Amino acid sequence: MAETEVAVKKEVEKVSMPDGRVVEFAGKRKLLKETLIEGNDVSVRLDYRNGETRLFKVPTELMLKFAGHGAEQKLGDETAGVEDVDDMVIYVDELMDRLSKGEWSTRREGSPFAGTSVLLRALVQLSGKTVEQVKEFLTGKSPAEKMALRNSPRVKPIVEKLEAEKVSKASKVDAEALLNTL
């Protein structure tokens, strides 16, 4: 192990449940949730650190409401911590594409993709291609490849202009009006 790496080992408590299962609770975790699907029946099992278990069978008449709520949560979680609204849209589009292909647990990486919306708009402006064509081009590109594109001599000036416009729009102060009073 490198000197800069620190091994973090969470304590694991094994708890025997009433049905004979032994469940492991790591760290401070007090509750484990699990979705169980049997045929067309969906249940959620809640295992508590104190050894209690609850099983909730989703009523058929509420199945679509629960599905909708889960979709809202999944799509909303994809943008957690993302500041830029344009990036949020791209992340959700990417997630919807993955979900449409049946990929549930593939997750995007966090901050290395920040600013993808600006790169997307810059490439649309540079190439004259549609947003969808450029999205397709960017799909699967690594963070390093995206950064290289952002910093290329042909793209960088466009990126800088778009970022300056974004900052200007976000500002509550009209810089032009201030400069006109100079």
Query: Residues 77-86: pLDDT tens digits?
Result: 888 888 888 8
pTM of the model: 0.55
Query: Which of helix, strand or coil describes residue 177?
Result: helix
- Say if residues 79 and 88 touch (Cβ distance below 8 Å): yes
The candidate with the shortest Cα–Cα distance to 117, out of 143, 135, 136, is: 135
Query: Which of helix, strand or coil describes residue 12?
Result: strand
Query: Residues 106-160: pLDDT tens digits?
Result: 655 544 445 678 888 899 999 999 888 988 898 888 878 888 998 999 999 998 8
